[in-house]
Structure 1
Amino acid sequence: MEVENSYCTQIWINLRAWHILGALDGGDPQPSAWQGPNRKHQHRAQNSQVWDLKSTQMYQIVVIQTGSFDSNKAILERRYSDFEALQKKLLKTFPEEIEDVVFPKKHLMGNFTEEMISERKLALKEYLSLLYAIRCVRRSREFIDFLTRPELKEAFGCLRAGQYTKALDILVHVVPLQEKLTAHCPVMLVPTLCAMLVCHRDLERPAEAFAVGERALQCLQARESHRYYAPLLDAMARLAYTLGKDFVSLQERLEESQLRKPAPRGFTLKELTVQEYLC
């Protein structure tokens, strides 16, 4: 198993003892992204050490950058079943690399006693720490999706529904986490940044849209073959024109790219982004 010391990003896991009422009726409610414990259908379990075995326990994961003060720490919530799904995916992709990583087993009885909660919290914290110490795992799509996909799926769903403000509220929290996790491959951040551009633009905030578009272009660099390259340049040229900025250079870059690699009319930036995270 390839393990190394990681000084850039560390992961802490905390547990909130939230009793989700929907689970008592046989449901399996999904946590809403980037919200606190006062969400609809939830309340803190009070004055009790044992909860109904049908209830769902939520775990809070905090991701922060070490070495300096991190004002953009990411806080997200996952259920035990989410950890189980991650383990199954990783076993298929990295069976040898994670053979020594112990996954916390689920106990049929006493899942929600104070003692079991404490033990599982520590075990899951150790589990994530071990996974993160393995370079190929922490850089994998499976691991990154575990920490970001539920929130991104909700945000892109809001974008498709025209709920741009709500989508931005989620995306502005996801981006710092994605930056931490994808520093080895910044291009993975492009769809999220482009979604933010579309939201700002359709909310008639061209300056904010242009600023986030510049970040997306920096991530893409000169990857002219990337599916977002031409649509992003086209959107940026139009925004630059609206803002009275240099739009000619952006148009020239787009035209040069199309001359080098002619292609039929592709998707607009919005048409591309609304296709992300459909399932």
Structure 2
Amino acid sequence: MEKIKQRFSKSTALENVLSDRHIDAQEQELADDTDAFTSSSELEVDISLRLKLSESTNSVNQKSNCETEDVETREMYVPDLDTENPMNGQTVFEIISTDTIKDGHSNFVIYRILLTKSSIVDRNPVVIERRYSDFQQLHLDLSKHFKEHMEAISFPKKRLFGNFTPKTIAKRSRAFEQYLTHLYSIDEIRFSHTFLEFFYLTDLKEAYNCLLDVEYEKAIACFQKVLLIQEKILGFLNLTIGKTLCALVSCCQTVEDNMMGLKYGRQALKCYTNHEDNKYYLPLLQSCVHLSWKTGEDKEKLEEILNQKRRDSKDLPSLLSVVHSSVIL
């Protein structure tokens, strides 16, 4: 396939927000993510237990990176919408470890956040890494759009000195856990673009960039990571998850990973149960019919539904072309 030249615009929604941001005196104090003092950043508060948990999820971190994976590794990323409903129960945010990174003459702290579901045995935990400045930007953006809600939510301030002491980092880590839990509990904030972009927008952009560059194996790994995060924040059976699943179906179909593509496709179809007019639905259904044929699975029922839903005899666009046409931030 000829390499698609379409690329993402560098002017993202986040950058637009930043361009017209007004920072008052208190926010200016928070704006610096560095400190002249250098110290160990490991948490003193129950750090040994948390580091053990971090080690236990290390393989998940590695699989979340956008690297080529084999078919067996991908198996864990296919959600089963019949047996699991992550919307039952809360997502737990836990900072399991930290690192102090030296950047020139200054330093910053990386916080590793473990996302798990409390109501089930979570087979697919996911870890993301964020800096203090990422949390700060989230707070400023949410304060701008949800002023009434945010007035009651405290945010850990920067200190003039001692930002890298183990005690400060431990205290701030606990505060960040409570902060994310509080935000998650407010539906208006939880499903906002601002909150969601904190968790997966960068990975989503990278996934689509890999797809547009016809690097489908790398795109699959990136979309898998996005899917893991989305299911923790959004739950299943929604159009956002469906769109990510469709991207995975199209990539798997292109690299002829037909069995995995069909598994993703079956789950994606459930997201469009009440949205059959969505532009993804018929191309997705067509892909599932083709993948069923390729894998020797029964395609009669899917083919019957496809023939009933098609309004004319014109050829449907491929699912991959629909995914390409939707790459706009």
Structure 2 length-normalised TM = 0.65
Structure 1 segment 138-157 matched on structure 2, within 5 A? 138-157=190-209
Q: Does the CA contact (< 8 Å) of 2:251 and 2:320 recur in 1? A: no
Moved more, 269-278 or 189-198: 269-278
The aligned runs of 1:24-63 (5 Å cut-off) are 24=104, 52=105, 54-63=106-115
Query: Hey, what's the Cα distance between the residues in 2 that align with 1:70 and 1:14?
Result: 16
Partners of 1:7 and 1:67 within 8 A in 2: yes
Matched, 1:235 2:287: yes
State the partner residue of 1:11.
93
In structure 2, list runs of 5 or more residues that go unmatched.
1-87
The CA distance in 1 between the partners of 2:327 and 2:97, in whole Å, is 28
Change (3 A) 1:184 1:174: closer
Aligned residue number for residue 47 of structure 1: none
Count the aligned residue pairs.
242
1 CA distance for matches of 2:297 and 2:141? 47
The SS at the match of 1:142 is: helix
- Is the 2:236–2:271 Cα contact (8 Å) retained in structure 1? no
- Paired with 2:257 and 2:315, the residues of 1 have a C-alpha distance of 27
Identity of aligned pairs, percent? 31
Picking from 121, 124, 142, the partner of 2:176 is: 124
Structure 1 residue 192 corresponds to structure 2 residue 274: no
Task: Kindly provide the CA deviation profile for residues 256-277 of structure 1, in whole angstroms up to 9, marking residues without a partner as x.
Answer: 3342xx7997753212323556
- Please list the CA deviations of residues 151-196 of structure 1 after superposition, one character each: whole Å capped at 9, or x if unmatched: 2222222222222222222333332332232227522201211121
1:269 correspondence with 2:319: yes
Name structure 1 gaps, 5 residues minimum. Answer: 1-5, 25-51
Structure 1 residue 247: deviation in Å?
3.8
RMSD of aligned alpha carbons: 2.7
Classify the secondary structure of the residue corresponding to 1:85.
helix
Deviation at 1:113, TM superposition (A): 3.2
Identify the residue that residue 154 of structure 2 maps to in structure 1: 102
Distance 2:316 2:178 in 1: 46
Tell me by how many angstroms 1:132 deviates.
1.7
Deviation at 1:135, TM superposition (A): 2.8
2:276 paired with 1:224: yes
2:25 match: none
Alpha-carbon distance between aligned partners in 1 of 2:315 and 2:129, rounded to the nearest angstrom: 41
Task: Give the AA of the match of 1:166.
Answer: K
**Counterparts of 1:171 and 1:179 in 2: how far apart (Å)?**
12
Q: Which amino acid aligns with 2:95?
A: I
Q: Greater relative contact order (Cα 8 A, min sep 6): structure 1 or 2?
A: 2
Q: Deviations over 1:91-112 (max 9, x none)?
A: 2332212220012223344433
**Which stretches of structure 1, 4 residues or longer, exceed 4 Å deviation after superposition?**
262-267, 275-279
Aligned to 2:124: 72
